């Protein structure tokens, strides 16, 4: 009999679809997915259905915001009872209030639940002890964890999971490249280098820093700056660029072939703030990358061989690193090719699917042995 696997998320962003489609295509696996819509101001490009996946679209209820944000998914409990999976993978976030009741139902029916998340950073400040203890209790109900990174896995083990209960599925949005890396032209007086940013336009992404840095570079190295994405601060960024670095182009959101052509034409990918799953996609096009270390996932992906890791709030370091990269195009090309090899051999959705299957089969096997 095929394994019935259920996956819960608050939202399924469009970038997660290739992974879920590949997972659903695995033999002897039936996949059900439960998720809903984001808050309107989040500007997430999300989906309501996925080919060949039994997708239940939820009515998410969003409560408060910021550090007091919670989400309720009222139909989650009924869906899980009707779909009746052999094993469930949930987003390991205690702010999603419907999850606890579903995990209890799974436990009463001797069905394992795996968490999937970034890790367990410790809360600090007011009520930190209560919040840390509450999350510890939340995590203790899981049979194991799937971490996005080595750092996340280490934190889950420190939180009390055995090492064989923690699986590392390095976060990926793109498959292993099946074609040779693009051949890029050298810079010249008639061809300026192109620096690319792809992602949501949010303050925490520090795109304003990137615009200022480009304006401070020596004139002969000043690039075309391409910004792909949408978000609540687009108008602010456009005004800033117009005043200090007009050689900035805002593309809006791009997907598929349009986005691929942009990756191919660019010379350097820069993520000046936190987050950013487009890094792995950029590397699949042999782009050297400069990324600010944020949630720990970048450290598994970017190293001295294939790019540069910098601090997320150090504009001077961002300037020095961009200057270093543009000053020696040969090193940029070498790092880009190394990044291409990283995605081809290690960080891709094929390997991510493989880890999920391993986590599911090993967890079910342990349940059977008990």
For the stretch 92-118, pLDDT in tens is 999 999 999 999 999 999 999 999 999
- Count of other CB atoms within 10 angstroms of residue 84: 12
Share of the chain above pLDDT 70, in %: 98
Residue 122 pLDDT greater than 80, yes or no: no
Mean pLDDT, rounded, for 38-48: 89
Nearest alpha carbon to residue 270 among 316, 225, 216: 225
pLDDT score at 295: 56
Average pLDDT, the chain: 93
The string of pLDDT tens digits covering residues 260-308 is: 999 999 999 999 988 777 999 999 999 999 998 765 567 789 999 999 9
Q: At CA 185, angle to CA 180 and CA 189, rounded to 5?
A: 170
pLDDT score at 163: 96
pLDDT score at 294: 63
Buried/exposed code over 309-345 (b: 16+ C-beta within 10 A; e: otherwise):
bbebeebeebbebbeebbeebeebbebbebbbebbbe
Residue 363 banded pLDDT, cuts 50, 70, 90:
very high
pLDDT score at 296: 59
CATH code for 194-345?
Answer: 3.40.50.2000
Is residue 242 a contact partner of residue 268, using CB atoms and an 8 Å limit?
A: no
The Cα–Cα gap between 194 and 186 comes to 11
Q: Of 26-30, 65-69, 196-200, 323-327, give the lowest mean pLDDT range.
A: 65-69
Mean pLDDT, rounded, for 31-59: 93
The Cα–Cα gap between 117 and 124 comes to 20
Q: At CA 9, angle to CA 295 and CA 284, rounded to 5?
A: 50
- Count of other CB atoms within 10 angstroms of residue 261: 11
Residue ranges of the chain that CATH labels 3.40.50.2000: 3-172+348-369, 194-345
pLDDT score at 1: 87
Nearest alpha carbon to residue 171 among 148, 205, 144: 148
279 φ, ψ to 5°?
A: -60, -50
pLDDT score at 79: 98
Residue 189 pLDDT greater than 90, yes or no: no
Q: Of 2-6, 18-22, 134-138, 318-322, give the lowest mean pLDDT range.
A: 134-138
Architecture of domain 3-172+348-369: 3-Layer(aba) Sandwich (3.40)
The Cα–Cα gap between 272 and 192 comes to 21
Q: Is the pTM of this model over 0.85?
A: yes
């Amino acid at each position: 009999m095929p394994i019935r696997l259920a996956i819960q998320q608050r939202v399924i962003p469009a970038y997660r679809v290739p992974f879920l489609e590949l997972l659903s295509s695995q033999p002897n696996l039936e996949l059900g997915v439960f998720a809903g819509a984001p808050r309107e101001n989040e500007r997430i490009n999300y989906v309501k259905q996925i080919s060949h996946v039994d997708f239940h679209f939820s009515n998410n209820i969003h409560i408060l915001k910021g550090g007091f944000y919670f989400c309720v998914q009222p139909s989650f409990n009924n869906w899980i009872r009707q779909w009746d999976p052999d094993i469930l993978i949930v987003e390991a976030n205690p702010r999603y209030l419907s999850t606890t009741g579903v995990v209890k139902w799974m436990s009463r029916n001797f069905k394992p639940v795996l968490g999937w998340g970034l890790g367990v950073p410790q809360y600090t400040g007011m009520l930190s002890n209560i919040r840390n203890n509450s999350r510890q209790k939340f995590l203790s109900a899981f049979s194991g964890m799937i971490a996005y990174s080595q750092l996340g896995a280490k934190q889950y083990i420190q939180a009390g999971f055995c090492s064989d209960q923690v699986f590392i599925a390095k976060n990926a949005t793109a498959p292993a490249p099946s074609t040779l890396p693009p051949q890029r032209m050298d810079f010249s007086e008639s061809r300026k280098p192109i620096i690319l940013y792809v992602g949501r336009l949010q303050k925490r992404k520090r795109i304003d820093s990137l615009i200022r840095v480009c304006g401070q570079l020596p004139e002969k190295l000043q690039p075309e700056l391409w910004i792909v994405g949408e978000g609540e601060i687009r108008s602010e960024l456009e005004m800033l660029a117009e005043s200090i670095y007009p050689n900035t182009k805002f593309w809006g959101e791009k997907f598929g072939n349009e986005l691929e052509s942009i990756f191919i034409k660019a010379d350097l990918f820069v993520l000046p703030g936190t987050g950013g799953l487009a890094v792995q996609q950029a590397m699949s096009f042999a782009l050297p990358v400069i990324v600010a270390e944020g949630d720990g996932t970048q450290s598994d992906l970017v190293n001295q061989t294939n790019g540069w890791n910098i601090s997320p709030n150090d504009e001077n370091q961002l300037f020095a690193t961009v200057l270093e990269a543009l000053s020696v195009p040969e090193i940029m090309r070498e790092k880009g090719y190394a990044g291409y090899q990283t995605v081809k051999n290690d960080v891709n959705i094929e390997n991510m699917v493989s880890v999920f299957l391993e986590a599911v089969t090993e967890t079910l096997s342990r349940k059977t042995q008990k």
